[in-house]
Structure 1
Amino acid sequence: MVRDMAEVQAKKTEREDRDIPVMKDFTSPEELYRELIKSVVRYHPSTDISMIEKAYQTALSFHEGQVRKSGEPYIIHPLCVAIILADLELDKESIVAGLLHDVVEDTPMTTEDVARAFSDEVALLVDGVTKLGQLSYSADKVDEQAENLRKMFLAMAKDIRVILIKLADRLHNMRTLKYMRPEKQKEKARETMDIYAPIAQRLGIAKVKVELDDLALKYLEPEVYYDLVAQIAEKRSSREQYVQSIVAEVKQHMDNAKIEADVKGRVKHFFSIYKKMVNQDKTLDQIYDLFAVRILVKSVKDCYAALGVIHEMYKPIPGRFKDYIAMPKPNMYQALHTTLIGPKGQPFEIQIRTYEMHRTAEYGIAA
């Protein structure tokens, strides 16, 4: 009964926390296609959608009669992959390749057919995704071998868009993993945690990386995952009130300092919390910085000005300040991180970055 309630709460929490839109099960292909076009036009109003329409009709025709483990028409999968790519604001060719990414492997259509019907560029993307799908991974590989496979994965893709399509493919497969056999679920989850999530991190695509990690944890450590869901849900209301009170206070001080800022709070993702518990050998009740406040401003100058305001408001914890603006991470991530003692004596983290830095943090190399 507790597990059932946790599963319901997990679905609710996943919907609330996701940065990338997720389509409900068994949405019709037509509805998904309309959603895809709406998303593409939103970020690229002048896009000629005729090639996307042609790719959709081609995939619909070649995948006709094929169904997924869920029982839904197979076309749902490439449509959802294309929607994820559109959310990452990729170009038209990537969207088209996302719609066609399984036709060479699963239908009579060849790479040459794709080139003739669309373009050499699209054919190369589809061929690259097909070849990456042929890499095998064994869950008993040691860390060094997993790292070698990650390097091979990156080296094989002549075009970085191939990897982005493959990440979108894996993300949708992880979202629908419940329809697979339990042993297959664990195999795919381990591969996701060892290969795909680290690659997403290496490319700086936080919004994909955190969801892959959370979904992998859900299938690798289900008891831990659902216990976390239940415990966080139990305290979510009071914690959110606390976070929002800090957000309001920070926003007021930013306004007083004439710093134009967007201030938001969030509970950290399940996998992030789980790692803290394991690394620090603590229970959830002993992990205090479960939430973070993010401040978005217009300029680097405003980042440091906002930091000064924050350090006047709350007591900073020594040794917990990181300047990733002066010293960016290898994946291009930039921000100021500081951990502070909140109004109730509870530590919390604040991240300060410009809007441009935020876009890079969320979309990484796709930006």
Structure 2
Amino acid sequence: MPLLAKNKSQKAVDEDFQLPVLQDAGPSLRKGKQINSVVLNRWQSFWAMGRIRWHLFLLIAGRLHHPLKAMQAMRTLIQTRRKFLGDSALSKVVKVGERYYYEYNTPGWPSQAFDAYHLAELSRIAPIQEKPFYLKNVIVAVTKKCALRCEHCFEWDALNGKETLTVANLQKIVQQFQDLGVGQLQFSGGEPLLRMPALLTLLKTAQPSTDFWVLTSGHLLTLANAQSLKEAGLTGVTISLDHVDPKIHNQFRGFAAAYDWVVEAANNAHQVGLVVALSLCATKSFISEENLFRYAELARQLGAAFIQVLEPRPVGHYTGQEVAITIEQQKLLEEFYTNLNYHPAFQHLPMVVYYDFQRRRAGCAAAADRHVYVDTDGRLHACPFCQKPTGKFQINDFQATLASLRLGGCPVV
């Protein structure tokens, strides 16, 4: 089954892209409820994007006070998006609750976070406010604790050590980033749900100008916890799922119930109205056309809006190992990314975010340009895989530390 179908009729394309039925996905999936896809069809997506673009035009025109300048700014924003994400026009939108999402790290619309993020991006083109380095995404590791022993864990050396960040520390970190401007803030770990009271406090005391997500193995995302997080202000959950075969995923995660946690967590998150994403560490042994499409279909069945694809890095538990994927495997992932995001035959499947594809196209957007990572000791890193801290959140001049991180760039590029 070819990944790219060119110069064919829609019927022929549909026949080429018949997806496998997951008869062997395991008893865990069959125990979960079937969830309707949150991805809008092509016409619904078209009209949703039309409304979003019109809103953006009015928002920009209101700041630039000139319709022609607003149109040019819109075109520049679109060109910037295509520089990182690909040359095709947006054609897929998901709807969860009353909000629409067309990119994993972009806040949902309508929201204060959506407007603030896009005005900040506009400021990079035509300065209209004093936040030229408003951050798109910040990951904050809130705990060292975790029940799993994941094969790829980048916080391996800190895992299950003594906690150093108090709730007050974490509140200060969130406040500092929100004061500077951040569209999306993700809580990670360890397993962040092991600090449920802290998460609820952080969400309830934060400003409403940011979308908040939790990065989780699914452990402890019960229906009650999902409901509490939603009511406190959580936008979505990214659940780690590293294989379509339950036994292999459990082995990768070092825990016999890991796959069941994923299924239960996705069901619970969907039930309370949280956006669901699945995160895949695409190892050399996993990457194949069959596995990728089985994964996409499983993600659809679990109600996922997004699939996050991460290439393995020789850090943390992978230190000293030959884990880099081949050029051919990179191309397979890039075609998977392009097809699921833009090809009509895959309109019903979740969208894909693939950071290494973006980095190879346009350079790294981390290192406090648009993304930054805070580890379990409050140290700032260009990204989770760099393992080269620049400073701590307690420093007097937080902006100067971010500027230094930005100047140093990403050491893995």
TM range (shorter): 0.3 to 0.5
Give the structure-1-normalised TM-score: 0.33
Give the structure-2-normalised TM-score: 0.30
Higher radius of gyration, 1 or 2: 1
Relative contact order: is structure 1 or structure 2 higher (C-alpha 8 Å, sep ≥ 6)? 2
Q: Which has the higher strand share?
A: 2
Q: Which has the higher helix share?
A: 1
